Every structure is written in C-alpha cells, then in structure tokens.
Amino acid sequence: MLRIQPATGERLQPALGLLFSPLPAKARTRRIAEIRREIDEGDFDPKFLLLAKDNSNPVGVQLTVIRDDDVGMVWPPVVAAEFKGLASESIEDALLSEATRRLDKTKAWIGQSLLEPEQTREHAALQRNGFTRLTELRFFERLLSDTSDQPERAARLRLKYEPFRRTKNRAEFAGVLDATYRGSLDCPEFNGVRDGRQSLKNHEAVGAFTSDMWRLYRRDGADVGVLLLVKRFDQKAWEVLYLGVVEAARRSGIGRAMLLDAIDAARGANAERLLIVADVRNLPAVGLYESLGFQPMATRVAFVRLANALPGHRPYDSARQQ
C-alpha cells in the first residue's frame, strides 16, 4: 500500500538520499549535509519534503519550497530506480496530489516549476496534476569585459531616475510596475493576476540589492519605466530581475537606455557578468538583449498552478509589506 508522509524524523535520511540520487556520490553527500544544516538553522521545513513508501520501502520523493514571496517552488517527483516504468506514474501522481493539497493550505498564491525542455516525463507528470505549461524562459548573460556598447553612450537617451526607498516611494514603484504590465508580452497570463505590491514583494525575496539598484525612470517628468537589479555573489554577477516600460512610452528607445544603464552600473561595481531572462514569446525583448551582446545560456519550461486565493483577491496586509 502506497503511503505519502512528510520526511520528518527517521524518514528524512532516506528521503534526502532518494531526492539527490541522480547526483554523483560526492555531490549527493554534500547536498544532504547542506539540507540538514538548513533544517538545524530553521531555513528548511522538512514537512514539505514528501516521501512515498510502498509498505516499508521508499519508492519516491517530492520537494516543495514556499518562498518568502508566497511562491511555491515545486520540484517534480523522483522515483526510485527499481520502481521506474509503468508503476512510476502512480507514484508521481500520489506525490503531486498530496503536494498540491498541502500547497493549497499555505499562503502561496502560485505553484511554479522550471524544467529543462528534455524532461518530458516530468512535464507530463505536472500536467496530469493540474499544472499548465506556461511558456519557455530563455536565460541570457552579457560579459562585462565586452565594451561593444561604448559607442552608444554619446547617442543614448539621458533619462532621470529615482532610487527605491521603502518608506518613501514604495507605492509609486508599485504603481509604475502595474503600468508596465499592461500590454506586456512577458508572461501576459499574469497580467491582472497580481499587482505591483505583490511583485515588489516577490522581487525583494530574490536577491541582494542596494536602493540605487532599483530605479524608477522618468522622461520630461512622466514615469516611463522600472529597472530592478540584484547581486549574484555566487556567480560574480548582477541580474536584471525586471525591466519594464509603460505602454505609452514603448518603442522609443527607453528600454534600451535602461538596459545600457544596467550594464554601466554592473560594470562599475566590478561584476563580471550581467544576467537577464526573457519569455521566448517576447520577441522585442529577445531582440533587444541580443543586439546588446547578451548570449543565451539555457532554456527552461515554466509550469504553473494558480491557487484559488490570488494576490488581487486578498486583503492587503500592510504589516507584511514592511
């Protein structure tokens, strides 16, 4: 009989061993030690690591992580090698069914999974269990030792920007974020699902930044766009978390000018690379990035499952936004 339980107590070690079983032995040992350390420090809750047992035999495992921005990151199930085949679908479905049931009881407004294009079996498992294939995301990098953007400096637009201040202009940033979503080609399915306040919360949970790395741009006194940058210390890089232009100001060179500013800022901070992600359907964005020397690194397929209580339908809790 198949039983699904949280990987707490004596179930933790076999669950971790199975979760990281695709890794080489040394990497597997390292990752298990890291997770155990995170549990000890209170940074990882094993109740969202689910172990499937057939009688007393561990046969599958599935991990969900609830981030601080109320996003549930859902990993596809890992099935023990000896149970792969026809029986594995029932194990995958049992794990994902329990994972989504638990996810719905949390504050998460969305379950999200990013998979490699060739992980077709995992794609199918998610789709059988209520996840929608949203789009493909393309990850780009720009080496900052490349100075091919220098000739554009003299000719580019000179925009004014205001840096982010939580206690001063948070609401204004959120309002301009909302405006940049209108008519956007970047994951347009989310337009109207969440508002700028939720977006700021999402972005704040992603990485380290200083106030000058988050910028609200103006031209002739009018708000025209938002640029959000974060540091990626482990990669000696900065990342463009978000670059958006309000609908009325698009196709006028503002996005290009903002991205050139991002390159300058990252280079001035001695970062080695600048990273950015695009929805592959957003052809203008992809074309802009490629024209400024960004090279594709990887592609991931995004699957999502929206909760019943979306951010726009929830009462705004100002205390959680501080």
112 contact partners, CB below 8 Å, separation of at least 6: 71, 72, 73, 74, 302, 303, 304, 305
Do 110 and 145 fall into the same domain? no
pLDDT of residue 123: 97
Residue 307 domain-assigned (yes or no): no
Residue 304 domain-assigned (yes or no): no
pLDDT of residue 318: 35
Do 175 and 115 fall into the same domain? no
Residue 119 domain-assigned (yes or no): yes
Whether residue 316 is predicted with pLDDT greater than 50 in this model: the reply is: no
The pLDDT confidence band at residue 86, using thresholds 50, 70 and 90, is low
Domain boundary among 111, 130, 149: 130
> Is the Cα torsion angle 204, 206, 211, 214 positive or negative in sign?
negative
The pLDDT confidence band at residue 215, using thresholds 50, 70 and 90, is very high
Whether residue 314 is predicted with pLDDT greater than 60 in this model: the reply is: no
Task: Mark 124-157 as b/e (b = at least 16 C-beta within 10 Å).
Answer: ebbeebebeebbebbbbbbebeeeebeeeeeebe
Q: Which range has the worst mean pLDDT, 59-63, 65-69, 312-316?
A: 312-316
Do 273 and 173 fall into the same domain? yes
Do 206 and 249 fall into the same domain? yes
Do 64 and 106 fall into the same domain? yes
Residue 308 domain-assigned (yes or no): no
Top-confidence residue, 179 or 153:
179
Summarize the confidence of residues 62-89 as an average pLDDT. 86
Burial classification of residue 114, based on how many CB atoms lie within 10 Å of its CB (0-12 exposed, 13-18 middle, 19 or more buried) = middle
The pLDDT confidence band at residue 69, using thresholds 50, 70 and 90, is confident
Distances (CA, A) of 258 to 26, 169, 216: 43, 19, 10
Do 245 and 188 fall into the same domain? yes
Summarize the confidence of residues 2-6 as an average pLDDT. 93
Distance from C-alpha of 19 to C-alpha of 241, rounded to nearest angstrom: 29
The pLDDT confidence band at residue 322, using thresholds 50, 70 and 90, is very low
Residue 317 domain-assigned (yes or no): no
Angle (CA) 233 238 240, round 5°:
140
The pLDDT confidence band at residue 192, using thresholds 50, 70 and 90, is low
Q: Which residue has the tokens 């004014």?
A: 160
Residue 26 domain-assigned (yes or no): yes
The DSSP letter of residue 209 is -
Domain boundary among 130, 164, 188: 130
Whether residue 63 is predicted with pLDDT greater than 60 in this model: the reply is: yes
Q: How many domains does the chain have?
A: 2
Summarize the confidence of residues 24-34 as an average pLDDT. 92
User: Domain of 151?
Assistant: 139-299
**DSSP track, 233-302:** GGGTEEEEEEEEE-GGGTTSSHHHHHHHHHHHHHHHTT-SEEEEEEETT-HHHHHHHHHTT-EEEEEEEE
Whether residue 129 is predicted with pLDDT greater than 90 in this model: the reply is: yes
Distance from C-alpha of 30 to C-alpha of 306, rounded to nearest angstrom: 34
Do 221 and 279 fall into the same domain? yes
Do 268 and 162 fall into the same domain? yes
Do 20 and 143 fall into the same domain? no
Summarize the confidence of residues 105-131 as an average pLDDT. 93
**Tens-place pLDDT, residues 255-289:** 999 999 999 999 999 999 999 999 999 999 999 99
Q: Which range has the worst mean pLDDT, 43-47, 217-221, 280-284?
A: 43-47
Do 240 and 104 fall into the same domain? no
Do 252 and 290 fall into the same domain? yes
Residue 318 domain-assigned (yes or no): no
Residue 36 sits in a domain whose CATH number is 3.40.630.30
Whether residue 115 is predicted with pLDDT greater than 50 in this model: the reply is: yes
Residue 116 domain-assigned (yes or no): yes
Do 290 and 145 fall into the same domain? yes
Summarize the confidence of residues 92-109 as an average pLDDT. 92
The Cβ of residue 94 has, within 10 Å, a number of other Cβ atoms equal to 20
pLDDT of residue 321: 35
Whether residue 320 is predicted with pLDDT greater than 50 in this model: the reply is: no
Q: Mean pLDDT of all residues in the chain?
A: 87
Domain boundary among 106, 130, 154: 130
The partner residues of 4 in beta bridges, in order of sequence, read: 52
